[in-house]
Structure 1
Amino acid sequence: MKYDPQENNCPLPYTPFRSCVVPRPIAWISSIDDKGNENLAPFSQCGIITFDPPMVMFSANHYPTGQRKDSAVNAEKNGWFVWNMATEALKDAVNISAMIVPSDQSEFELAGLAKVKADLSDVPMVKDSPCQLECRYVSTTVVQGNGELGTVDVIIGEVIRVHINDDYITPEGRVDIDGIRPIARMGYIDYTVINNSFSMEVPMTEEIRKIMNEIMAGSANKPVTAGEEK
């Protein structure tokens, strides 16, 4: 089977595109507006941009009316947002926070979530999330789609502070992803749980490994494992 999305000639009853780029992490973004109203919403069009400095992005589609998502507007106006890790234990709250509600209604309260204030701003964080990234707003790029719903605000933020629950740090000093059990989007209304990870070392010559270690030593001060990002 093959088809051209631009010609809208997909032979399947449901478009498979969003199930072809999977699994996708969920950016569970918390923010506040200029009146202090708090917002929490999940986005699966998201990811890491770079790691030095650490930067992340999420894409917020416009509403059919052309109205922009609160998360995007709040990040721009307030200058901060928090990326909370979405996990299996919190999946029902993640789903509830995806509801379309008035801007002055708190998704934290709607989902029954405990919150804690971020260190560097007044943005609330999901207390029970095992990892929170405090992000300083950097920029917005508007990508025009076929109509308002296809148009997105691509929000970029620099991670200024990282919070990790010590219960999920292994004795070797790694984040216990299998223990955290993050959830990810699979397209349609389907999700998955990350609970079975494995390692693969990228082959490289000793000469290249030496060069890589020298490059990374300036910021990490420790040898790099082949294929590992700092």
Structure 2
Amino acid sequence: MFYEPKNGHGLPHNPFNAVVTPRPIGWISTRGKDGRDNLAPYSFFNAVAYVPPQVMFASTSAKDDREIGKDSVGNINDTGVFCVNIVEYAARDVMNLTSGSYAAGEDEFTLAGIEKAECEVIDGPRVATAPASLECRMTQIVKLEGAANYLVLGEVVGVHLRDDCMVDGLFDVTRFQPLTRLGYQDYSTIREVFSLVRPK
């Protein structure tokens, strides 16, 4: 099968996000300029640089009560900071609950019963029980092609690692089983890990 996206695919569901998988999930926590907290998952997320450490996520929809993107992008545009929380398999249901389109003033931490902690470097919340959290200063918000597509880039300025995920000085993903996004309504988790030595 071949199709050009501009002409449609003719399938019951768009296969694009089922092709680029698995994708890590960035559970983005922000605080609005009004002091209200927000938490939402984004599967267009990844690390993009080592020095300085940088991450990105993309928001692909908008809300009527926001001038730019959804609550996460709007808050970041206002304050210049955000936190990426890594999602583990054990948090799949509460993560999914925070993906709803709620009013701008709704605190998803409270709505989903998620323990909240204050960040150390930035003014904002983080998921207290997350395997890892990355405090970020926004470096760019890039308007992408399309009506409501925004790319957010940030420099990581603080890193939280949960103690039980550290083994012999390494951050061990098998200790918490990272949740990944597949296509459609599908998710997966990482349970098996192997190493490959890069050629010199």
Q: Give TM-score scaled by structure 2 length.
A: 0.95
Q: Is the 8 A contact 2:63 2:70 kept in 1?
A: no
1:191 aligns with 2:192: no
1:134 aligns with 2:135: yes
Distance 2:100 2:188 in 1: 20
Q: Is the 8 A contact 2:27 2:85 kept in 1?
A: yes
Which of structures 1 and 2 has the bigger CA Rg? 1
Q: Which residue of 2 aligns with 1:73?
A: 74
> CA deviation digits over 1:159-217, x for unaligned, max 9?
0010101111112x11110111110100101000011111111222xxxxxxxxxxxxx
1:175 aligns with 2:174: no
Q: Which residue of 2 aligns with 1:218?
A: none
The structure where helix makes up a greater share of residues is: 1
- Among residues 164, 174, 195, which one is paired with 2:161 in the alignment? 164
**Offset, 1:17:** 1.0
1:3 aligns with 2:7: no
> CA deviation digits over 1:21-58, x for unaligned, max 9?
00001010000111001000000011111111100010
Distance 1:195 1:90 in 2: 15
Q: Which amino acid in 2 is paired with 1:17?
A: F
Among the aligned pairs, what percent are the same residue?
35
Q: Which residue of 1 aligns with 2:108?
A: 107
Q: Secondary structure at the match of 2:192?
A: coil
**Offset, 1:13:** 1.7
Name the stretch that deviates more: 64-73 or 113-122.
Answer: 64-73
Q: Is the 8 A contact 2:164 2:175 kept in 1?
A: no
Distance 1:67 1:50 in 2: 26
**Structure 1 vs Structure 2 CA RMSD:** 1.4
Q: Which residue of 2 aligns with 1:224?
A: none
For structure 1, list consecutive stretches of 5 or more residues without a partner in the other structure: 205-230
Distance 1:71 1:120 in 2: 19
Q: Which amino acid in 2 is paired with 1:200?
A: L
Task: Give aligned pairs, total.
Answer: 198
Q: Secondary structure at the match of 2:12?
A: coil
Q: Which amino acid in 1 is paired with 2:107?
A: S
Q: Give TM-score scaled by structure 1 length.
A: 0.83
Q: Which amino acid in 2 is paired with 1:167?
A: D
For structure 2, list consecutive stretches of 5 or more residues without a partner in the other structure: none
Q: Which amino acid in 1 is paired with 2:187?
A: Y
Distance 2:194 2:121 in 1: 35
Distance 2:36 2:43 in 1: 23
Distance 1:92 1:158 in 2: 29
Distance 2:81 2:3 in 1: 41
Q: Is the 8 A contact 2:40 2:98 kept in 1?
A: yes
**Offset, 1:121:** 2.5
Equivalent residues in 2 for 1:1-150 (5 A)?
A: 1-8=1-8, 10-63=9-62, 68-145=69-146, 148=147
